[in-house]
């Protein structure tokens, strides 16, 4: 599955050629059965899906795989059962041969809020950091990106990508079982780098932004989406323990401070394109993600506060140029 990527970036003139030398070992380690006891179960779920004639793929308006092949009710239930072996489905939604995978996040809403503001992706090389199962990677390809590489260290999300890839068979969209620290330093190889929902999970947000900058070509664009606190000052929220029940949230800045961080790292043309308080319609429990979700992490009497009495999740999308 990853041979196509290695063939592309192993070319002597490709800007990612230095990564090609270490990537096979990284992928093997990232999907090691010794690290993930359910890996065999996930792979079996993918292998047991039926061979279906793909007659339509839509990555422009949604992520949809379709076929004119008729499926019985029993076949559809069997497909649904196999798909649910890869629970939890967090990013989406997907239309998989008529089966609607109603994911925890309405990731299409986030995409629609930013897609008309970013630099055109047609013919571009793109990195999506913390991409989950690759939902947005497919949408990037739908806008004409030449090569999309998503990275996410959570194995089940990578397997969800591999499930979709089994039928889409793309030669330019790849989701790798890696984190940003696995990306070689100072690549300067990508036209656009996305980091959405990652910054507040990093112990050093400025170092994370610097890593993203080092992935970009000169003139490349950063698409940064993160939690913020909504005041005009240069404050940062540092949760005492948990934030919205997440124990890995470190720094939540104001927009003003976030812009200063970007300026300090010599980004230019910095502009805010969206500010949005996450609603319980955008992030919620479904039959495809049955764990607790946003509503369980908010103050039941006041959804403008988290259960810990911090401001409820509000997100900004900022674009900046290297």
* Ordered structural domains, the chain, with CATH: 3-321 (3.40.50.150)
The answer to whether residues 229 and 311 touch, using CB atoms and an 8 Å cutoff, is yes
DSSP type of residue 311: B
pLDDT value at residue 217: 98
> What are the tens digits of pLDDT across the range 26-46?
999 999 998 888 999 999 999
Task: Give the span between the Cα atoms of 148 and 124, in whole angstroms.
Answer: 8
- Facing residues of 175 across strands? 150
Residues of the chain with pLDDT under 50: none
The answer to whether residues 180 and 207 touch, using CB atoms and an 8 Å cutoff, is no
> What are the tens digits of pLDDT across the range 302-311?
999 999 999 9
Kind and range of the H or E run holding 221 = strand 216-228
- Facing residues of 276 across strands? 315
pLDDT value at residue 1: 80
Using DSSP, state whether 154 is helix, strand or coil: coil
pTM value is: 0.97
Task: Give the span between the Cα atoms of 318 and 316, in whole angstroms.
Answer: 6
> What are the tens digits of pLDDT across the range 273-288?
999 999 999 999 999 9
Token pair, residue 230, equals 């909504």
DSSP type of residue 4: H
Burial class (CB in 10 A: 0-12, 13-18, 19+), 82: middle
pLDDT value at residue 84: 98
> What are the tens digits of pLDDT across the range 107-129?
999 999 999 999 999 999 999 99
pLDDT value at residue 107: 98
């Amino acid at each position: 599955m990853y041979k196509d990527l290695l063939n592309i970036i192993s070319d002597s003139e490709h800007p990612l050629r230095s990564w090609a030398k270490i990537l096979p070992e990284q992928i093997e380690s990232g999907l090691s059965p010794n690290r993930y006891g359910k890996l065999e179960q996930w792979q079996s779920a993918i292998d047991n899906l039926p061979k279906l004639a793909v007659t339509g793929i839509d990555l422009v308006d949604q992520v949809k795989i379709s076929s004119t092949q008729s499926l019985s009710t029993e076949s559809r239930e069997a497909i649904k059962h196999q798909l649910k072996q890869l629970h939890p489905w967090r990013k989406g939604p997907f239309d998989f041969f008529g089966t609607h995978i109603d994911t925890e996040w309405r990731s299409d809403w986030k995409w629609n809020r930013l897609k008309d503001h970013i630099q055109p992706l047609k013919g571009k090389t793109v990195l999506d950091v913390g991409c989950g199962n690759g939902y947005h990677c497919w949408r990037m390809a739908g806008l004409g990106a030449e090569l999309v590489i998503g990275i996410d260290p959570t194995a089940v999300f990578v397997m969800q990508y591999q499930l979709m890839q089994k039928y889409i068979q793309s030669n330019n969209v790849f989701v790798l079982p890696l984190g940003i620290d696995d990306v070689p330093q100072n690549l300067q190889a990508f036209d656009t780098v996305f980091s959405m929902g990652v910054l507040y999970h990093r112990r050093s947000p400025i170092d994370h932004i610097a890593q993203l900058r080092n992935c970009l070509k000169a003139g490349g664009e950063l698409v940064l989406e993160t939690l913020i606190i909504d005041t005009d000052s240069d404050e940062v929220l540092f949760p005492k323990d948990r934030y919205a029940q997440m124990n890995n949230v470190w720094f939540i800045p104001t927009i003003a401070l976030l812009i200063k961080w970007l300026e300090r790292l010599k980004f230019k043309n910095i502009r805010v394109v969206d500010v949005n308080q996450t609603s319980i319609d955008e992030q919620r429990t479904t039959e495809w993600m049955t764990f607790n979700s946003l509503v369980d992490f908010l103050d039941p009497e006041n959804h403008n506060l988290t259960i810990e009495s911090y401001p409820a999740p509000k997100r900004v999308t900022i674009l900046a140029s290297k």
